[in-house]
Structures are given as C-alpha cells and as structure tokens.
Amino acid sequence: MLAAVLLFLGLTLAAMAAHLPSSLDLRVDALSTQALLTQPASKLLDPERQAAAVRRAHWTLIGFVLIQLFEAGALLYLWSSGGAARLRDWLRRRAESEWNLRFAFGAMLALVARLAALIPSFYLYRVDHALGVTSELTRVWALFWIVHTVVAMLIAGSIAAIVLWLATRTHFWYVFTIAGVLAASVAWSYVSQSAQRPSLAAMTAGEVRYAQAFELGRIVQGDAVSIALIEGGIIIVFSALAVVVADRIGFRRDDDPLSRLAIVGALLALVYLAAVPVRNATLRSYDFGDDAYAVSVTRDPAGAVRALIRQGDRRMEEVCPEPIATLFLYTQPGIGARVAAINRVPSGCP
C-alpha cells in the first residue's frame, strides 16, 4: 500500500510538473497579438535560445555525419577483413535453417553498425543535454539506446531474411520488395506523425486549435500518404544505387550474397548522406500548405504564430536555418519562413 501511494504521488507530481509553465512559456504567453501579427519570428523568439540553436545545429551536424561514416567504416572493414565471411560461417554452424541464418546475419550487421555509431550518438545526447533540450539521465539514454538497438537488429534481420528468401523464390523479387518498402513507409509515416505531435501542456486555446487543425490538414490534404511515397521512393532509388555500386566491387574468395550484405550496408550508410538532402528538400513544402489550412479553419493567425514560436523555443530550432543545416537537419521550413507566410511580413532571414 505504501509503495502504491508513493507511486501515485510520484506520478501526480510528475504530471503537475509537466503542465507547469516554464519561463519560456511565460515569455511566449506575454507576446501581444499585435506583435505576433506584425513582427518577424526573429524578433519573437528568445535571443539566447536562438544563439544556442545555432551552436546546436553546428554540433548536431558533426554528429550526424560521424554516425554515417563510423557505420560505413565498420561494415566496410568487416567485409574487407573477411570478418563477414567468418561471421557467416560461425552462424551457419549454429543456425537451424537458412532463414534463421539470414535473419541472424542481418541482425548482427545492425549490431555492428549501432556499436560503431555509439560514440557519436552519445555525443549528440550530450549536446542536447548540455544545451537543456533534454533532461534525460545518462542511464535512461543508455536504456533507450539498447532498446533501439534491439529494434534495429529485428528490422535488419527481417529485411535480410525476407529479401534473400524472395530472391531465391522468384526473379521478380524486387517488385515485392518495392511494394513492401512503400507499405512500410506509409505505416511509418502515420506512426511518426503521431509521435511528433506537439505537447499541449502550457499552450493557449488558440495554439491548441491551431495544432488540431494542422493535423487535420495533413489528413484532409493527404500529406501523410504523399510524404510516405516520397520517402519510400527515395529509399528504393538510393538502395538500388548502393546495390549497383556493390555489384561493381569484385567478389572475395570467401564471398557469397549473404556475406556481401556487409558491403551493401556500408554503401547504404554513405548514400544516406546524399539521400537526406533530397528527402528534406521534397518534404519542406508541405508545412506551408498545412499552416494555411489550419489558419483558414481557425481564423486565428496569432494563435498559429504563437504555437510556432513556442515550438521553436522549446525545441531550440533555428529561426533562419543555415543552408548546410537545412540540407541535413530539417524536414520542415524554418520558423521564420513559416511565420512570414502566415502573417505576410518579411521573414527577417538573409
């Protein structure tokens, strides 16, 4: 009973703390309607948070690139050193079927990639923690890292087993693979859209109506499906590019299609650096349409602007992203451009 009472009190206090407005929220609440409708976002966002947002973008970009390079380097070394072939043979002696072998090998490649990216991933966590974007404890971050690693291993193992099984069953395996990628992209688009919804805590009534109308706009205008098809198409095109390049690399004496998944994975990590700017550029236009839809429904542009300003302060996003940050870090247009489109004033961005 005591434990239950303490748990209840802890959850209650946590819920109360989550809904208590911060100093940033109070500052956003104090912005007048006149300022929201006439001032550019660069004048509305907290200047100290914006200075930190610029530093965060620079440091995050470094970590992002290092993750891809470390993963590619680890998988390339695994293949070139013969480690992939030795791993395949070790797993084959223990696997009960070819399916299990393929699944286990794909899962192990994901584990190698995750371990290789551990240091830059921890670096990104420390950047957000040092700047106050997250208050997550290191042990909590480590727990989530382990969970994400297990999920990545399950996904990679399933992909390896299914794709190689299809390749042995039909010459049109790529048709089924493309259909699977597109279906998974649509499902993931809806799941990620739900996960990225802004917290309604400390938001004004106008902001809540804007957030709800924005989500409705995504549904009514079919953005989720369009975004999913774009992302799925990019995955297909750049994955095919990685496979084509891998096919141009000669086989080793101990190579087979299974062990060469390591080099395909290495190339996928590298082409991802080229795929991300393409994806980001194609997705950025959707938010303008959803903003316009939300404002037309709520007839409250000030509420929309206030919501964007609060989001920018909380997430420490750049009001005017630099070109290189725009290429790699943001799937949404800058807050400065979105506010300018809503209240029809200059963005104040260079």
Whether the Cβ atoms of residue 329 and residue 57 lie closer than 8 Å to each other: yes
Count: domains in the chain:
1
**Contact residues for 79 (Cβ-Cβ < 8 A; gap 6+):** 259, 260, 262, 263, 266
| DSSP for 8-77, written as a single string | HHHHHHHHHHHHS--HHHHHHHT--HHHHHHS-HHHHS-HHHHHHHHHHHHHHHHHHHHHHHHHHHHHHH
CA 40 from chain centre, in angstroms, equals 28
Predicted confidence band of residue 20 (pLDDT cuts 50, 70, 90): very low
Distance in angstroms (rounded) separating the CA atoms of residues 21 and 44:
18
Distance in angstroms (rounded) separating the CA atoms of residues 312 and 52:
12
* Residue 30, in any domain of the structure: yes
* Residue 10, in any domain of the structure: no
Query: Per-residue pLDDT tens for 92-125?
Result: 998 889 999 999 999 999 999 999 999 999 999 9
Range of the domain at 159: 25-343
**Contact residues for 258 (Cβ-Cβ < 8 A; gap 6+):** 88, 101, 102, 105, 160, 164
Confidence at residue 24, expressed as pLDDT on a 0 to 100 scale: 80
Q: Which residue has the higher pLDDT, 251 or 89?
A: 89
Confidence at residue 15, expressed as pLDDT on a 0 to 100 scale: 41
Of 115, 105, 106, the C-alpha closest to 70 is 115
Confidence at residue 271, expressed as pLDDT on a 0 to 100 scale: 92
Whether the per-residue pLDDT at 10 is higher than 70: the answer is no
* Residue 18, in any domain of the structure: no
Confidence at residue 305, expressed as pLDDT on a 0 to 100 scale: 94
Using left for φ > 0, alpha for ψ between -120 and 50, and beta otherwise, residue 317 falls in beta
Q: List the single range of 47-51, 84-88, 307-311, 342-346 with lowest mean pLDDT.
A: 342-346
Please give the average per-residue pLDDT across 184-198, as a whole number: 68
Distance in angstroms (rounded) separating the CA atoms of residues 326 and 285:
13
Please give the average per-residue pLDDT across 302-311, as a whole number: 93
* Residue 240, in any domain of the structure: yes
* Residue 90, in any domain of the structure: yes
* Residue 75, in any domain of the structure: yes
CA 154 from chain centre, in angstroms, equals 19
What percentage of residues in the chain have a pLDDT greater than 70?
A: 91
Confidence at residue 186, expressed as pLDDT on a 0 to 100 scale: 78
Predicted confidence band of residue 16 (pLDDT cuts 50, 70, 90): very low
* Residue 117, in any domain of the structure: yes
What percentage of residues in the chain have a pLDDT greater than 90?
A: 56
Predicted confidence band of residue 196 (pLDDT cuts 50, 70, 90): low
Please give the average per-residue pLDDT across 326-345, as a whole number: 91
CA distances from 73 to 112, 113, 132, 133, 319 (A): 10, 9, 32, 30, 35
Predicted confidence band of residue 51 (pLDDT cuts 50, 70, 90): very high
Q: List the single range of 122-126, 244-248, 306-310 with lowest mean pLDDT.
A: 244-248
Q: Is 196 helix (H, G, I), strand (E, B) or coil?
A: coil
Confidence at residue 199, expressed as pLDDT on a 0 to 100 scale: 59
Whether the Cβ atoms of residue 40 and residue 339 lie closer than 8 Å to each other: yes
Confidence at residue 97, expressed as pLDDT on a 0 to 100 scale: 92
* Residue 244, in any domain of the structure: yes
Residue 146, Cβ neighbours under 10 Å: how many? 11
Whether the Cβ atoms of residue 312 and residue 41 lie closer than 8 Å to each other: yes
Please give the average per-residue pLDDT across 163-192, as a whole number: 82
Q: What is the mean pLDDT of the chain?
A: 86
Confidence at residue 101, expressed as pLDDT on a 0 to 100 scale: 95
Of 239, 233, 219, the C-alpha closest to 282 is 233
Whether the per-residue pLDDT at 198 is higher than 70: the answer is no
Whether the per-residue pLDDT at 13 is higher than 60: the answer is no
Q: List the single range of 6-10, 71-75, 101-105 with lowest mean pLDDT.
A: 6-10
